[in-house]
Homo-oligomer: A and B are copies of this chain.
Amino acid sequence: MGQVSYNHLIDLNRYSTNQWNDMLRLAGEIMRNPRIYENSCGGKIMGTMFYEPSTRTQMSFQSAMLRLGGGTIGFVNPSVNSSVAKGENLKDTAKVISGYCDIAVIRHNLEGAALAAAINADCPIINAGDGGHLHPTQTLTDLMTLKEEKGKLSGLSVGVCGDLKHGRTVHSLIKALSCYKNNRFVLISTDSLRIPEYIVKLLEDKCADYIEISSLDEAFLNYDLDVLYMTRIQRERFESQHEYKNQADKFILNVKKMKKAPEKMIVLHPLPRINEIDIEVDSDPRALYFKQANYGMYIRMALILQTINYQLNPDNIPLLTGEHNSGLECRNMKCITRTEVYLPKSFKKESGDFICEYCEEKVKAIPHRSGVQSR
């Protein structure tokens, strides 16, 4: 496509586990020796382009950059943002803002938006969440927490609990951990919120050990968990209020359940939580979700540092590696290519299907139109 290839972090899967490990190592090193790094981004500026608000993520990035000695500028919420309100496209905003910055962080409600920004930006772009698609710095945060707390990323018995069907965070974490050896996945959810088929297939392809069950009690009893990863389970996902009341208790973690959990089992949560972990659990020393949020700051420091020092993409791999195909069109209404129509379309072939390179949804070939037109 010819675009300059900065050192973006759009999708963890573009990097090797070796590169992930390097980043986790650097994050730990920074955490243990913060003074060494406190001016390593002196004179640099990070821009935060938050098309949807996410206070927690934005403040984590900002504190990371400040702790490296850099400065931050940014916007949040396009509704109070004149240029965007005036209808400016993502490309123009990305071009201009990236011209002011040394690194930019984007969060957007549409899938593929970070990739779209990166194609057009004049500085490296970090994906801080693109709709329900990717959120790589959350996954890195989770990996760092496991690495620091468990000392390893392999040979773990990993419980994940909640809405496994819609939970982007959980999908990414499972994908990431399946790249390490001998991890077992204990998938705890209601029948209607089970993990999607493509994750199951991925686990089977990698010959990973996994089991699907329907209560926390069973998980604690039978699977010797090293970690329990809790996620939100939204009331509106249940078929009825009755169904919710019936089921929810099995997935809410409280002090009583914690008594049955393994001594070594740490509890994580991407936050914010609603009610899926009782507040009383917070004082349990195994409850590490607040510490996990703090690790997030250090992994972002490592990421910013590596990105600014151009260590992430030494081979200069281009952003778009698929092909243009005028017979294909992404139909995913949440894909950024539907609203930013000027974007170069790009499709990849995966096991016989075409995948939109922005949102990674399957694409159907457009039926040949001459026949239709000839009628």
Contact = CB atoms under 8 A, between A and B. Distances in A.
A128 interface: no
Given A53-B80, A53-B81, A290 B63 contact: no
B297 A100 contact: yes
Stoichiometry, copies per complex: 3
A41 B67 CA distance: 12
Interface in A256-301: 271-274, 279-280, 282, 290-291, 293-294, 297
Nearest to A295: B99
Contact of A87 (B38, B53, B274): B274
Contacts of A274: 86-88
B95 A290 contact: yes
Interface residues of A, number: 56
A91 B47 CA distance: 29
B77 A54 contact: no
Contact of A59 (B75, B87, B342): B75
A61 to B, nearest CB: 9
A71 interface: yes
A56 interface: yes
A254 interface: no
A137 B5 CA distance: 32
A60 to B, nearest CB: 6
A86 B45 contact: no
Nearest to A52: B82
Contacts of A77: 80
Contacts of A279: 89, 91, 342
A339 interface: no
A56 B96 contact: yes
Interface string A90-103: 01100111011100
A199 to B, nearest CB: 25
A179 interface: no
Nearest to A76: B80
A45 B293 CA distance: 17
A271 B96 contact: yes
Interface centre among A73, A77, A89, A273 (most CB of B within 10 A): A73
Contact of A38 (B43, B83, B297, B342): B43
B96 A81 contact: no
Contact of A101 (B45, B53, B63, B122): B63
A83 to B, nearest CB: 5
Nearest to A35: B43
Nearest to A38: B43
Contacts of A307: none
Interface string A33-77: 001001000010101000011111001101100110101111111
A101 B62 CA distance: 11
A52 B294 CA distance: 25
Task: Return the 4 tightest CB-CB contacts between A and B, nearest first.
Answer: A66-B71, A63-B100, A88-B272, A99-B294
Given A45-B66, A96-B290, 19 more contacts: A45-B63, A47-B59, A53-B82, A53-B85, A54-B83, A55-B75, A55-B81, A55-B82, A59-B73, A59-B74, A63-B100, A72-B73, A76-B80, A80-B80, A83-B272, A91-B279, A99-B290, A99-B291, A279-B342
7 contacts: A38-B43, A43-B67, A53-B85, A54-B82, A66-B71, A99-B294, A122-B290
